[in-house]
């Protein structure tokens, strides 16, 4: 039997440090007359400052592995999407064939609300690895979030389509099954959402997250029924009183 896919993340890495600009210390001039202090300052300023930081046109010494580790950790933990994106920009600038770098940057951009830019990176990742189910899954998650930002008028069917593509490649991809359920839930199709959640609970009956999602779907379905019943009652009342 196939093992269920799990999404894991590596962590940790050292940050890129640049030398800092030297500063002049006024204390060293305290015993000198004012004019002499001024002359000393001017003299210091005329010295070559070899440690002043400057922006190089191209970064040559880049450790892609370490940058990827750091970016992966920052992305998965949600600690700093901006820094993660900067690291991934650097990685892709050195090697534009690293599919995971595009995926991670797409995840950062999605959570930063930059969905159009994220979509470009999802496509780039899929061009490099068209049979990777995780890429379709996370693209589907992006579509769900994208739809939610447009006052609920997003195309949740597109999200479901991405989850189903992931399941075509890996039928036991639990997160993708849950994703299909979430897409139905977002579209207020609670019955079909519960059907998808039950597929997972049949295998993992104590899955807390899915149990909570099923409870939410049941509650939303009940509230929707109450609303429909009240609307029907009001309609009948209007007919009765003319």
Residue 77 lies in a domain: yes
Give the whole-angstrom CA distance, residue 170 versus residue 193: 20
Pair of tokens at residue 64: 């892609």
Residue 203 lies in a domain: no
Weakest-pLDDT range from 52-56, 85-89, 140-144, 228-232:
52-56
**189-218 pLDDT per residue, tens:** 999 999 999 999 999 999 999 999 999 999
H-type alpha helices, 16-114? 34-45, 64-77, 81-94, 99-111
Residue 99 lies in a domain: yes
Chain-centroid distance, C-alpha 86: 14
Indicate whether 10 pLDDT > 80: no
pLDDT number for residue 14:
32
Give the whole-angstrom CA distance, residue 63 versus residue 58: 14
**68-118 pLDDT per residue, tens:** 999 999 999 999 999 999 999 999 999 999 999 999 999 999 999 999 999
Residue 209 lies in a domain: no
At 36, is the pLDDT very low, low, confident or very high (cuts 50, 70, 90)? low
CATH number, domain of 110, equals 1.25.40.10
Residue 78 lies in a domain: yes
Are 125 and 99 a contacting pair, CB within 8 Å?
yes
Indicate whether 4 pLDDT > 70: no
In terms of residue numbers, what domain contains 72? Answer: 9-17+61-126
Instruction: Please count the structural domains in the chain.
Output: 1
Residue 112 lies in a domain: yes
What percent of the chain is helix, strand and coil (3-state, nearest 5)?
65, 0, 35
Residue 98 lies in a domain: yes
**Mean pLDDT for all residues in the chain:** 79
Pair of tokens at residue 78: 């949600």
Residue 164 lies in a domain: no
Report field, pTM of the whole predicted structure over 0.75? no
At 152, is the pLDDT very low, low, confident or very high (cuts 50, 70, 90)? very low
């Amino acid at each position: 039997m196939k093992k269920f896919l799990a999404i894991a993340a590596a962590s940790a890495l050292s940050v890129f440090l640049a030398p800092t600009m030297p500063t002049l210390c006024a204390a060293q001039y305290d015993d000198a007359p004012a004019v002499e202090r001024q002359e000393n300052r001017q003299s210091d300023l005329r010295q070559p400052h070899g440690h002043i930081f400057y922006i190089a046109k191209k970064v040559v010494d880049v450790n892609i592995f370490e940058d990827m580790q750091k970016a992966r950790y920052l992305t998965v933990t949600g600690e700093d999407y901006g820094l993660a994106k900067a690291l991934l920009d650097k990685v892709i600038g050195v090697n534009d064939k690293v599919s995971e770098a595009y995926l991670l940057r797409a995840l950062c951009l999605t959570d930063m609300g930059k969905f159009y830019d994220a979509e470009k990176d999802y496509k780039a990742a899929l061009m490099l690895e068209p049979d990777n189910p995780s890429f379709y899954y996370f693209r589907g998650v992006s579509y769900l979030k994208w739809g939610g930002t447009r006052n609920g008028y997003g195309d949740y069917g597109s999200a479901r389509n991405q989850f189903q593509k992931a399941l075509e490649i890996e039928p036991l991809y639990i997160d993708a099954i849950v994703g299909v359920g979430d897409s139905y839930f977002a579209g207020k199709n609670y019955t079909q959402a519960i059907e998808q959640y039950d597929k997972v609970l049949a295998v993992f009956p104590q899955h807390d997250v899915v149990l909570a999602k099923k409870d939410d779907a049941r509650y939303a379905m009940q509230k929707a029924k109450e609303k429909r019943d009240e609307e029907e009652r009001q309609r009948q009342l209007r007919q009765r009183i003319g």
